[in-house]
């Protein structure tokens, strides 16, 4: 299991885009939240161990699960993608911040936006809505074991990567390998970007004319295969 300090420092220079590319390179499933789930505060960039919880109409389930969290964890709230009730506001966010959590991911909407912006704690949600829940449903037995974010099922065996591009979930067992691969891709892309600034076009760097010639004789050749053969990086 990757240590928390290595996880945090390892993700610091990376983006979720690079994490996604690393998953493609490693042939791991892409477990991305829908594009509609976005950061409330621009510049939010967080990674942490997932703490899933499903909302049933009251904040008590959030307080319950906070009894079992560790600093740096990310609370992943499943409110079924509902847009007709805000399941968190300033008090829940302040409580999560006091518990040392890294972020809150909400498959649903939030409220108290002005206060949340002032607090500055990273919140990722489907948007904002002024009305809180008026229902009170019974908890399921696995209410604090699995949360659904779009089509992605999140458990405590997962890591959550989140930034301005969105939210990705990766099995913790693959965390170190994904970070290592993402760093290699990052270094390669930085080298390519520097070369472009120095006047070497991306087409020259990736030997694009040679690729076109090879594809002429072998139509089954893909650009991704070509890049892997020459050690390039742009698509993954």
Asked whether residue 63 is marked as a ligand-binding residue, the answer is: no
Asked whether residue 91 is marked as a ligand-binding residue, the answer is: yes
Give the residue from 111, 155, 101 showing the smallest Cα distance to 132: 111
Asked whether residue 142 is marked as a ligand-binding residue, the answer is: no
Asked whether residue 92 is marked as a ligand-binding residue, the answer is: yes
Asked whether residue 72 is marked as a ligand-binding residue, the answer is: no
β-sheet bridge partners, residue 107: 78
Give the residue from 232, 211, 209 showing the smallest Cα distance to 223: 211
CB within 8 A of 170, min separation 6: which ones? 19, 23, 28, 31, 158, 159, 161, 178
Cβ atoms 92, 119 nearer than 8 A? no
Asked whether residue 126 is marked as a ligand-binding residue, the answer is: no
Q: Which residues participate in the annotated binding site? A: 89-92, 111-112
Q: Which residues participate in the annotated binding site for Mg(2+)? A: 112
Q: Which residues participate in the annotated binding site for substrate? A: 89-92, 111
């Amino acid at each position: 299991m990757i240590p928390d300090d290595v996880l945090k420092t390892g993700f610091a220079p990376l983006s979720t885009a690079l994490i996604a590319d690393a998953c493609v390179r490693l042939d791991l499933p892409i477990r991305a939240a829908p594009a509609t789930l976005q950061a409330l505060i621009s510049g939010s960039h967080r990674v942490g161990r997932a703490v899933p919880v499903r909302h049933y109409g009251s904040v008590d389930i959030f307080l319950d699960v906070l009894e079992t969290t560790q600093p740096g964890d990310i609370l992943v709230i499943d409110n079924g993608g509902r847009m007709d009730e805000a399941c968190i506001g300033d008090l829940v966010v302040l409580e999560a911040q006091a518990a040392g959590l890294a972020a809150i991911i909400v498959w649903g909407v939030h409220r108290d936006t002005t206060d949340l912006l002032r607090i500055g704690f990273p919140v990722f949600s489907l948007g904002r809505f002024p009305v809180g829940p008026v229902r009170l449903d019974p908890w399921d037995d696995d209410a604090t074991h699995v949360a659904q974010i779009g089509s992605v099922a999140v458990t405590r065996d997962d890591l959550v990567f989140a930034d301005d591009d969105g939210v990705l979930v990766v099995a913790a067992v693959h965390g170190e390998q994904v970070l290592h691969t993402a760093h290699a891709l990052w270094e390669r892309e930085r080298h390519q970007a520097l070369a472009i600034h120095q006047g070497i076009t991306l087409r020259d760097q990736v030997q694009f004319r040679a690729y076109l010639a090879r594809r002429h004789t072998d139509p089954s050749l893909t650009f991704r295969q070509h890049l892997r053969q020459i050690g390039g990086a742009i698509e993954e």
